[in-house]
Amino acid sequence: MNLTEDRSRYRVVLCGASAYDKKYYFNEKFNGLPESVKEELHILCVLFTEDVGGIFTVAFDLDGHVLLESQKEEGDLLYDDVGAPLMISQVRRKKKELLRGLSIYFRVTMLHEDAAVLLEEEDEDDE
């Protein structure tokens, strides 16, 4: 298997929460994020699982795109299959700036891309 052929399978998890064991996980590789961002992510993940159930994760693909994923354990009848994708869409809209910032942070710190170039691209996208 070639990495370029199957890039979609690889991701780096930033954080997540589980309605099953009532736990929150934060990847310590991202301790450099501001405390306010860490707290916002914590609240986001926990509230998501309280509303929808299952497991919710925030992750990055190998290109630095933010992935919002929700899944359930087999046989979970309380998981909201309809609400999960709707809530993910709502999070993408309402937390657009946070998600952009996380993507830039990942691309600079983990992929070693040039911050000035990324910020310039962001400015062009806003026009």
Q: Distance (Å, rounded) from C-alpha 111 to C-alpha 123? A: 20
pLDDT digits (tens, 9 = 90+) for 41-76: 999 999 999 999 999 999 999 999 999 999 999 999
Please give the torsion angle defined by the CA atoms of residues 111, 115, 117 and 122, in that order, rounded to the nearest 10 degrees. 100
The pTM score is: 0.88
* Percentage of residues of the chain with pLDDT beyond 70: 90
Cβ 53 vs Cβ 87: under 8 Å: no
CA distance 44 to 24: 11
Instruction: Locate 34 and state its tokens.
Output: 């501001």
For residue 1, pLDDT over 60 is answered with no
Q: CB–CB of 62/8 below 8 Å?
A: no
